[in-house]
Amino acid sequence: MIFWWIGNIVLLVVVLPVVVVLLKGVLTASKQIVPNIQAIITVASAAVKDLEPIPLLLTTQSYIIKTVETVANYGGSLDVILDDA
């Protein structure tokens, strides 16, 4: 009978506080995740908007190809006009 009462005291003094502390820690950690995910959402949305002009790279590519072709033609003309070293 004494041991039963000792067990009850241990439950009340040790087990219950430990359970409460552990659950409270898990809850606090999960609550801290939410604002971080909100920040990630904001950044991801901004990144999506920043990457919208990526298709313009195709235009840049075509311009660069034309520019290099023009430079090649100009270099060919210079090669004919100027004397070699």
Residues that bind other proteins (CB under 8 A): 1, 4-5, 7-8, 11-12, 15-16, 19-20, 23-24, 26-27, 30-31, 33-34, 37-38, 40-41, 44-45, 47-48, 51-52, 54, 57-58, 60-61, 64-65, 67-68, 71-72, 75, 78-79, 82-85
Distance of closest approach, residue 68 Cβ to other proteins, in angstroms: 4
Compute the least distance from the CB of residue 53 to other proteins, in Å: 10
**Alpha carbon distance 70, 62 (integer Å):** 12
